[in-house]
A and B are shown apart, each in its own frame.
Chain A
Amino acid sequence: MEVLLKAVRKKFGVVPALDGVDAEFPHQTFTCIYGPPGAGKSTLLRIVAGLEVPDSGEVFIGRKDMTFAPPKERNVSYIAQEFALYPHMSVFQNIAYPLRLRKYPEATIREKVLQVARFLKIDKLLDRKPAQLSGGEQQRVAIARGLVKESSIYVFDEPLTNLDYKIREDMRGEFRRFQREFGQTIIYATGDPVEALSLSERIIILNGGKVVESGDTRQVYRQPANLFTMMHFGFPQANVVPGEIISGGIFSCPLFSVKCALVGIPRDKKAVCTFRPEDIALVGEDFRGVVFVGRVFVVDVIGSESVIYVRVGENGEIVRILAERNCRPGLDENVKMGIQPEKMLFYSSLDGSFLGKGGS
């Protein structure tokens, strides 16, 4: 069951929450809506679920115009960030509730509740009451309650945000596998780049109520069409170095110069050079590529990797390098960094549009 949004607009008060959104959520695909707080993610999800009606534009579900259809006609399961569990019911009964409402037979209810409870690793908590659970466990019960009802479309609004990092890590793989095993269309909003990257097949980048870009997740990650995406969709954050495109299609800044393969003629000289932390490394004398130097500010060891923060240039701008865990340059050590020009992506300072990659 696919979902299509056409020119959807929604205002609350003066500021538009959604400002002309076209979005496609293909059948049986895991699509992420990714954006910062206030981008309009929740509003978009609520419009898909039927909890809000757009001011203008259309919502098609399975090719039928459902713009004004109430939630119960849509066969959409909506799992919100804020949830309320029934305090007097056990976890089992909370999860079973949507099925009891629909008068499912008791044996089926039991089977389905156990299935989702196992998936969310709360099967040992079924007899407890919500007050006896931690915040994270309560959240998982709310998710279970949303999953237990069979729908064609599942809409999740940042379901893992308030959970402990370790649980989020474990749950990431589970979500996607659940989707593949049960073949549903999933629409999942998040502000966490790692979550969006690891879970989704398709991604919609949202900012200020507008779609910045959308497409296959890995392709959007590898070559964003817009500077906003490059800067905000990735972890650790991408590096951005301002400079100019001078004649001969060369990007120049105080740290380095590099030839670019431009896709068109830039309207303005001012441009930025961007590159991801995993594409730059500490290098030695014999490295061939773009090279510049700096001073180590701090090394953040994040499990099996390190993020090395290096101060470069006159203003001490920070460059982030993703390295192996055992790469531990000393504090304040002078280091040399290198990157292949093809890994550098250039964007216009004027409108953030993609100008080209490095290399010839």
Chain B
Amino acid sequence: MFNRTVEAVKELNMVIDDKKVVCLLGPSGCGKTTTMRIIAGLEEPTRGRVLFDGEDVTPLRASERDVAMVFQFPTVYPHLSLYENLALPLWGKGLDSATIRKRVELVVEQLKIPGNVLQRKASSIDPGLRQKIAIGRAIIRKPKVFLFDEPLTNLDATARAELMGLIKHLSREVGQTFVYVTHDQSEAMSLADKIAVMKDGQLVQYDDPDTVYEFPESTFVGWFLGNPGMNFLRAKVEEEKQIYLRIGPERFEITLPALQYLLQKRRVSECIVGIRPEYVLISPTREKNCSIEGLCVFVEFIGGREIFHIRIGEEIEIRAKAFPRGDIQEGQKVFVGFPGDKIRIFSLDGIVFRD
């Protein structure tokens, strides 16, 4: 808590396994940076404890916790050379200069830094290289935990891809625990062993990336991940001889046994149906698996894909994502379908129904 009115992080319980990469992911203001700073020892929790390998480190300052941090803005000494920047964390630790040189050379190789720039001053190099040096300064200390706070945010696309690859390779090679904070879902999806999705100071889901993506536990998670995020439609369950979900003026049959079972067992009468745009089936003609009628109101062409905005009835609008196809234009009647195994059912307050 920062002051009486702002609860930056509410009751957070989380275990980060040894040698794993965990990403704290969420929109600005969700509490991810505060959580990282608490792990680092830069903030004191108002309540609760931080444990490293079972040991309570809460009373320890950041410098006593053996963590290494990399921030959005590279923390390098501009007036020192790249070599000196990398060697600095090892000075005063009782290592002889030969050992220091060896460790610097190892890091230089791990980060693929060209040897001929090492004597340049840190102020004279580009942001991507500067951030590499910042990462190098973290690795060279061989800390217990690496903490990265949105390290790629200020880099251009090329530098970002290069550093992302580097961090991915490093997390494999170095065999240490990484805690990585980001608002960028692609960084989390690509780098993490587990993603901790946060919202308004709370942990809302904590799973491996594919589980978080395919099986969101709340509509927030379903919306936040994906490009664009999940569609949500209000539906009524109708049971006649078959089970149907009614969406506005349209309805479709639920044929997947697991889904039928879920809806019946939980006695769902009204719910929110979630389905990702890339799983929505779309066709200009009525088909067996595309039976819901709608109107295409907008086609977003984004190069490798098209995103169709489809209105169902008066009020409902969904997005379908597909490879560019010439046969669906704006103003045209279309038919959509939702494969049973890709539908997720949420309560009206946005929590997933599970068996």
Chains A and B bind each other: yes
- A residues with CB within 8 A of B: 134, 164-166, 169-170, 172-173, 176-177, 180, 193-194, 197-199, 217-218, 221, 234-237, 276-278, 297-305, 307, 309, 318, 322, 325, 331
With A173-B309, A303-B185, A304-B277 already in contact, the answer to whether A237 and B157 are too (CB < 8 A) is yes
Contact B27 A177 (CB under 8 A): no
Any A CB within 8 A of the CB of B46: no
- A186-B190 Cα distance, complex, nearest whole Å: 37
Q: Which residues of A contact B186 (CB under 8 A)?
A: 300-303
A-B CB contacts (within 8 Å), total count: 99
Q: Which residues of A contact B300 (CB under 8 A)?
A: 172-173, 176, 198-199
Any A CB within 8 A of the CB of B49: no
Contact B227 A303 (CB under 8 A): yes
- B residues with CB within 8 A of A: 27-29, 157-158, 161, 164-165, 168-169, 172, 183-186, 189-190, 209, 223-229, 276-278, 297-298, 300-305, 307, 309, 319, 321
Q: Which residues of B contact A309 (CB under 8 A)?
A: 161, 165
Contact B228 A170 (CB under 8 A): yes
- A276-B223 Cα distance, complex, nearest whole Å: 28
In the assembled complex, the CB of B192 is this many whole angstroms from the nearest CB of chain A, namely 10
In the assembled complex, the CB of B168 is this many whole angstroms from the nearest CB of chain A, namely 5
The B interface is mostly helix, strand or loop, or mixed, namely mixed
- A172-B319 Cα distance, complex, nearest whole Å: 12
Can you name 15 A-B residue pairings with CB atoms under 8 Å? A164-B27, A166-B27, A166-B224, A172-B300, A173-B298, A173-B307, A173-B319, A197-B301, A197-B303, A297-B165, A298-B161, A298-B165, A303-B225, A305-B304, A305-B305
Q: Which residues of B contact A304 (CB under 8 A)?
A: 226-227, 276-278, 321
- A150-B29 Cα distance, complex, nearest whole Å: 36
With A173-B309, A300-B161, A300-B186 already in contact, the answer to whether A234 and B27 are too (CB < 8 A) is no
Q: Which residues of B contact A303 (CB under 8 A)?
A: 185-186, 189, 225-228
Contact A221 B298 (CB under 8 A): no
Q: What residue in chain A is nearest B321 (Cβ atoms)? A: A304
Q: Which residues of B contact A194 (CB under 8 A)?
A: 302-303
Q: Which residues of A contact B184 (CB under 8 A)?
A: 165
Q: What residue in chain A is nearest B299 (Cβ atoms)? A: A198
Q: Which residues of B contact A301 (CB under 8 A)?
A: 186, 189-190, 209
Q: Which residues of A contact B223 (CB under 8 A)?
A: 166
- A236-B303 Cα distance, complex, nearest whole Å: 9
- A194-B301 Cα distance, complex, nearest whole Å: 9
Partner of A221, one of B161, B165, B303, B321: B303
Q: Which residues of A contact B305 (CB under 8 A)?
A: 278, 305
Contact A318 B303 (CB under 8 A): no
Q: Which residues of B contact A302 (CB under 8 A)?
A: 185-186, 189, 227
Q: Which 4 A-B pairs have the closest CB atoms?
A: A278-B304, A303-B227, A298-B165, A301-B189
In the assembled complex, the CB of A87 is this many whole angstroms from the nearest CB of chain B, namely 20
Partner of B302, one of A176, A177, A198, A237: A198
With A276-B304, A277-B304, A305-B304 already in contact, the answer to whether A169 and B227 are too (CB < 8 A) is yes
- A134-B104 Cα distance, complex, nearest whole Å: 43
Contact A299 B190 (CB under 8 A): yes
Q: What residue in chain A is nearest B160 (Cβ atoms)? A: A300
- A303-B184 Cα distance, complex, nearest whole Å: 10
- A307-B161 Cα distance, complex, nearest whole Å: 10
Contact A169 B157 (CB under 8 A): no
- A309-B166 Cα distance, complex, nearest whole Å: 12
In the assembled complex, the CB of B286 is this many whole angstroms from the nearest CB of chain A, namely 25
Partner of A300, one of B158, B190, B307: B190
In the assembled complex, the CB of B221 is this many whole angstroms from the nearest CB of chain A, namely 12
With A173-B309, A298-B190 already in contact, the answer to whether A322 and B302 are too (CB < 8 A) is no
Partner of A278, one of B183, B228, B303: B303
Q: What residue in chain A is nearest B225 (Cβ atoms)? A: A303
In the assembled complex, the CB of B32 is this many whole angstroms from the nearest CB of chain A, namely 14
Q: Which residues of B contact A221 (CB under 8 A)?
A: 301, 303
Q: Which residues of B contact A236 (CB under 8 A)?
A: 157
With A234-B303, A298-B168 already in contact, the answer to whether A134 and B28 are too (CB < 8 A) is yes
Q: Which residues of A contact B304 (CB under 8 A)?
A: 276-278, 305, 322
With A177-B298, A303-B185 already in contact, the answer to whether A164 and B190 are too (CB < 8 A) is no
Q: Which residues of B contact A277 (CB under 8 A)?
A: 304
Q: Which residues of A contact B228 (CB under 8 A)?
A: 169-170, 303
Q: What residue in chain B is nearest A322 (Cβ atoms)? A: B304
In the assembled complex, the CB of A82 is this many whole angstroms from the nearest CB of chain B, namely 20
Q: Which residues of B contact A165 (CB under 8 A)?
A: 183-184
In the assembled complex, the CB of A125 is this many whole angstroms from the nearest CB of chain B, namely 15
Q: Which residues of B contact A278 (CB under 8 A)?
A: 303-305
Q: Which residues of A contact B161 (CB under 8 A)?
A: 298, 300, 307, 309, 318
- A169-B300 Cα distance, complex, nearest whole Å: 11
- A205-B272 Cα distance, complex, nearest whole Å: 43
Q: Which residues of B contact A172 (CB under 8 A)?
A: 300
- A18-B170 Cα distance, complex, nearest whole Å: 46
- A310-B28 Cα distance, complex, nearest whole Å: 32
- A217-B224 Cα distance, complex, nearest whole Å: 29
In the assembled complex, the CB of A109 is this many whole angstroms from the nearest CB of chain B, namely 27
A173-B300, A237-B158 given. 18 additional CB < 8 A pairs? A164-B183, A169-B228, A173-B298, A176-B298, A177-B298, A180-B298, A193-B303, A198-B302, A221-B303, A298-B165, A301-B190, A301-B209, A302-B185, A302-B186, A303-B227, A304-B277, A325-B278, A331-B168
